[in-house]
Structure 1
Amino acid sequence: MAAGILYITSIKWEVHSHGERLQRAHQNDSSRGQDILKRLEKMEAHIEKLLKSINKGISLKEGQAVKAPEVKKKRKVVKKLYPNSALFTSWGDELSEEEQKEAEGLFQMYGYNAFLSDRLPLNREIPDTRDPKCAKHQYPHDLPTISVVLIYLDEALSIIKRAVRSIIDKTPQHLLKDIILVDDHSSNEDLKEKLDAYISFIHEERPGLVKRVRHKEQLGLTQARLSGWREATGDVVAILDAHIEVHVEWAEPLFAQIKEDRTLVLTPVFDKVNFDDLTVTRNVPAADTFDWAPWCMYEPFRPEWYALIDESNPGKSPSIMGILVVDRLFFGEIGALDGGMKIYGGENVELGIRVWLCGGSVEVIPCSKIAHIERAHKPYLPDLSITMKRNALRVAEVWMDDYKHNVNIAWNIPTQDHGIDIGDVSERKKLRERLNCKPFQWYLDNVYPMLDPLGDLLGYGALVNDLKMDLCIDQGPLPWNTPVLYGCHYFGPHVCRNIP
């Protein structure tokens, strides 16, 4: 490289010297001399440019370190401590072993990813999953005020705080009367002083907005909802689970409907918050229904809703899920909730049937969205079947008339002398008479014709083998329940057969 530069420099010097001599020799021959001089000057300029370029390159190499090729760091392989845990199926690859232990412990405690929740912003953005037409709806300013009731039992603190924050941020300030937190006798220490501190922080912004109700013993969902309703002061009461986040404009569509008809009981559309990564999955609008158990489920709306070709329209629903919004006074007039229900199950189906039979109606409001965490398990009550069975029989006895034995069939229990104490239902039967409610047949004909009445059954009970009386026909194992011979266990979970 140095020899090349020296050679080019010498050429430049020779060109320059030759140009000077030529200029002196041809001072009197202006035409020919000037032409040659111009060519030499151009040559000299090109050589000068070449030298500068070479020198610049050398300077860069001498003044800067040569960048070494990038070596991709190998990620440290972390042992998977809980390969069979539902929490780590699609989340948590980056966690250390200590973090895995903490996350799994919290998951078993709550049934969702409290470890991640504690690290997410309380005011995190969630996707707007409404139909685009919803954003174009206009609502009046003078809507009813609302009290929001959040019920919980041993929720993660960050989950409750995020629910409260979303309600404050996404409910019109002039309409939000109060937020009532109902604690059904939690043992979680975080829900005492730490939650009180957060409420104090909220009160710096909105004095007196948040109220607390604590049960001295666990009374269950129905009693917790009733406790919140009794404390409410708004025109409308929304009774929600505490493991939720409300969407933008969640409240206005509900208020507008109730302003037009105070006998409506409404429910938003639930979006699913996945229990592991807490992302939100959109759910399409659908009717809230049930089977004879009665276990809640979703079914399509009636055909007339789809004929409108507009997913922003309210849809009639036979029942209601756990989240409800209702005129506070009307709720009391129709009997609120059945206080005889225990812990969990059946109370929302009972409400839906009663509202329809006693002068009101139930609607799902697609433009109102609430993101709801679907737990992987319910830590506070591992076996729900005990209370659900009892509550189901209570609903049947009060409201289902000649169809009440369908609930027995659904639970595989005798239609007579089943031995299950459903509590005193005399006051609920008096309520039905006082409200002049319609018969259950009207409900099947006009509200929920898709519910199979099981009217073609010829028999119900156990099929006993005449040759060996201790063997019965059993419905067999999943998935097809192919009938098999099995030792008789009358009215157990597998022996009862429906005979069409």
Structure 2
Amino acid sequence: MFQYYGYNGYLSDRLSLDRPIPDLRPDGCRNLTYPLNLPQMSIVFIFVNEAFSVILRSIHSAINRTPSHLLKDIILVDDNSNNIELKEKLQDFVSETNKQHPGFIKMVRHAKQEGLIRSRVSGWRAATAPVVALFDAHVEFNVGWAEPILQRIQEDRTRIISPSFDNIKYDTFEIEEYPLSAQGFDWELWCRYLNPPKSWWHNGNKTAPIQSPALIGCFVVDRLYFEEIGLLDEGMEVYGGENVELGIRVWQCGGSVEVLPCARIAHIERAHKPYTEDLTSHVRRNALRVAEVWMDEFKSHVYMAWNIPMEDPGIDIGDISERKALRKRLQCKTFRWYLVNIYPEMRMYSDTIAYGVLKNSLKNDLCLDQGPDNDNVPILYLCHGMTPQVRALCLHTTVLCRSFQPLAPVFHQSCLENRISGLLFQDIILPK
């Protein structure tokens, strides 16, 4: 079951569907009050071959920890699961629930697997409440999660809100508290947690919203604004990059992204994803779509991060004309504006003249590699093509051979001459 689900499905089946979880909100959250006239929301859960008990626990926690007058309905999007339990037993649960609360749970079943991105959009299309919450079906909601989110969206409908995430350990199902974080990405467009900006720390209020450059994945949005801003990019495939693209697009096109410390949700970080065995190729393709539409002159950074040529990379990213037209219609700002004003922590690489792998001319299976972090000495190692061996040659006041990874060593010209003599640039990609 662990291999099938990416988490301990055997244990999940033996846990209560209504189990208590620790209240991990900052202390000040318990003293906040909210308006009585908050908008209703639809909660969308998407899944493919999820454990039945995990889905039920997600639904139970949503019902138990969301005020009933704020939760209009729940939409379940089954992305063509082949798990028998998710056919009959789940349908029986939905039917029984709807006998007591007609139309409360809606089922959307895909005839073929569409992937996480288009599944989220399918759920949005089935939603009818003014606000839509788009989540994976392996979460557990904490107390008081909904009110702070709905208040922020009620105040400004162009805000897209993420809760603060805690971790449900995939092997023990224990709740692990995560520190308060913003959400960002690297140049491969893999999402990552960030320290909140200095301005948030200086504010001294741990209940205050955290400005966030991007989204990890699950988020809450005004239903109509989501359509106006362009939904998710349905030209992307399977999984990955859509959350980064949404965050970039919202900021560049006049909206904002926030993480709320008082809205906490526990989420299973699987040991492996169920969508496809070749997840990396889809993430790479999706990242290139984002680069070509939204990143202007900085799109080269994405190509460098994936170590592929900018011209004729041999990757079909599909038609992006509609996404470019969307950007023009929304009169969005430049990506440079985004980096300067929203994501200044993101490292920029100027005057790059080449990138690729440094390979030994005498022994072709050896490449320049990152040495131990503690002494920053480059080493020769068997060629593997992973990020520690992917280099960029940059032109500064002195020529530097710089690793593309921010934590890797910087090699001055003398280092190149004295320590790696006998190496030649090979498979280097030279932009025109």
**Short-chain TM bin:** 0.7 to 0.9
* Residue 369 (structure 2) aligns with: 475
1:202 aligned to which of 85, 97, 100: 97
* Residue 10 (structure 2) aligns with: 115
1:425 lines up with 2:320 in the alignment: yes
* Residue 174 (structure 1) aligns with: 69
- 1:495/1:312 Cα in 2 relative to 1: closer, same or farther (>3 Å)? closer
Give CA deviations for 1:27-51 in whole Å, capped at 9, x if unaligned: xxxxxxxxxxxxxxxxxxxxxxxxx
1:263 aligned to which of 158, 163, 168: 158
* Residue 424 (structure 2) aligns with: none
8 A Cα contact 1:413 1:492, kept in partner: no
1:193 lines up with 2:88 in the alignment: yes
Distance of 1:277 and 1:206 partners within structure 2: 34
Give CA deviations for 1:281-310 in whole Å, capped at 9, x if unaligned: 111211101010011111111111011212
* Residue 438 (structure 1) aligns with: 333
Q: How many corresponding residue pairs?
A: 392
1:165 aligned to which of 23, 45, 60: 60
- 1:230/1:471 Cα in 2 relative to 1: closer, same or farther (>3 Å)? same
* Residue 54 (structure 1) aligns with: none
- Any gaps of 5 or more consecutive residues in structure 2? 394-399, 401-432
User: Residue 404 of structure 1 aligns to a residue in which SS?
Assistant: helix
1:395 lines up with 2:290 in the alignment: yes
* Residue 248 (structure 1) aligns with: 143
Q: Compute the displacement of 1:380 (Å).
A: 3.4
Distance of 1:265 and 1:494 partners within structure 2: 35
User: Residue 352 of structure 2 aligns to a residue in which SS?
Assistant: coil
Distance of 2:147 and 2:139 partners within structure 1: 18
Give CA deviations for 1:213-250 in whole Å, capped at 9, x if unaligned: 01111111110000000111000000000000111111
- 1:174/1:445 Cα in 2 relative to 1: closer, same or farther (>3 Å)? same
8 A Cα contact 1:286 1:301, kept in partner: yes
Amino acid aligned to 1:408: Y
- 1:481/1:167 Cα in 2 relative to 1: closer, same or farther (>3 Å)? farther
- 1:120/1:481 Cα in 2 relative to 1: closer, same or farther (>3 Å)? farther
1:217 aligned to which of 91, 106, 112: 112
Amino acid aligned to 1:496: V
Amino acid aligned to 1:237: V
8 A Cα contact 1:338 1:347, kept in partner: yes
Equivalence map 1:112-151=2 (5 Å):
112-151=7-46
Q: Compute the displacement of 1:157 (Å).
A: 0.3
Distance of 1:463 and 1:271 partners within structure 2: 41
Higher share of residues assigned strand: 2
Q: TM-score, normalised by structure 1?
A: 0.75
8 A Cα contact 1:108 1:379, kept in partner: no
Q: Compute the displacement of 1:160 (Å).
A: 0.5
8 A Cα contact 1:272 1:372, kept in partner: yes
- 1:373/1:462 Cα in 2 relative to 1: closer, same or farther (>3 Å)? closer
- 1:411/1:207 Cα in 2 relative to 1: closer, same or farther (>3 Å)? same
**What is the percent sequence identity of the aligned residues?**
51
- Any gaps of 5 or more consecutive residues in structure 1? 1-105
* Residue 498 (structure 1) aligns with: 392
Which structure has more relative contact order (CA 8 Å, sep 6+)? It is 2
Q: Which moved more, 1:369-378 or 1:469-478?
A: 469-478
Distance of 1:471 and 1:171 partners within structure 2: 58
Q: Compute the displacement of 1:197 (Å).
A: 1.1
* Residue 72 (structure 1) aligns with: none
* Residue 380 (structure 2) aligns with: 484
Q: Runs in 1 of length 4+ with deviation above 3 angstroms?
A: 462-465, 467-474, 476-483, 491-496
Distance of 2:139 and 2:344 partners within structure 1: 32
Give CA deviations for 1:295-338 in whole Å, capped at 9, x if unaligned: 11111111110112121111100001110100000000010100
Amino acid aligned to 2:266: A
Distance of 1:493 and 1:419 partners within structure 2: 20
Amino acid aligned to 1:393: L
8 A Cα contact 2:42 2:71, kept in partner: yes
Instruction: Calculate the aligned-residue CA RMSD, in Å.
Output: 2.0
* Residue 50 (structure 2) aligns with: 155
Amino acid aligned to 1:412: N
Give CA deviations for 1:453-500 in whole Å, capped at 9, x if unaligned: 1115343234455x659577443688889442767x9x7867532223
User: Residue 180 of structure 1 aligns to a residue in which SS?
Assistant: strand
8 A Cα contact 2:307 2:355, kept in partner: no
Amino acid aligned to 2:242: E
8 A Cα contact 2:11 2:172, kept in partner: yes
